[in-house]
Structure 1
Amino acid sequence: MSSREKIAERVSDEIVDRLHQLIEGQREIHLFKDRLVHFLTRYERYLANTPQVTRKERRTQVSRLRDKTSGFLSALAELHDEVIRDFDTQLDHLTHDERWEGFDFLNKDQDLPSGDETLKQARVACERILEVCRGELDRLDTTKGARKGSLNPSLDQMLVDLAALYETETGHSARSHCYRDETAKDEFNGRFFLLAKALLDEFVPGSFGTPIALGRRINQVLQEG
Structure 2
Amino acid sequence: MVLDVLFPPRCAGCSRPGARLCPLCLAAFGPPGRVPGSGTGPPVYALADYAGAAREAVLAFKERGRRELAVVFGALVAAALPLLPEAGPEPWLVPAPSRRSAARARGGSHVLGVARASGFSTAPALAFVKGVRDSVGLSPAARRANLTGRLRLVPDGLPPPGSAIVLLDDVITTGSTASACISTLRTGGFRVSLVLVLTTARRPHPHG
Report the TM-score range of the alignment, normalised by the length of the smaller protein.
under 0.3
Kindly name which structure, 1 or 2, has the bigger radius of gyration based on alpha carbons.
Answer: 1
Q: Which has the higher strand share?
A: 2
Q: Which has the higher helix share?
A: 1
Query: TM-score when scaled to structure 1?
Result: 0.24
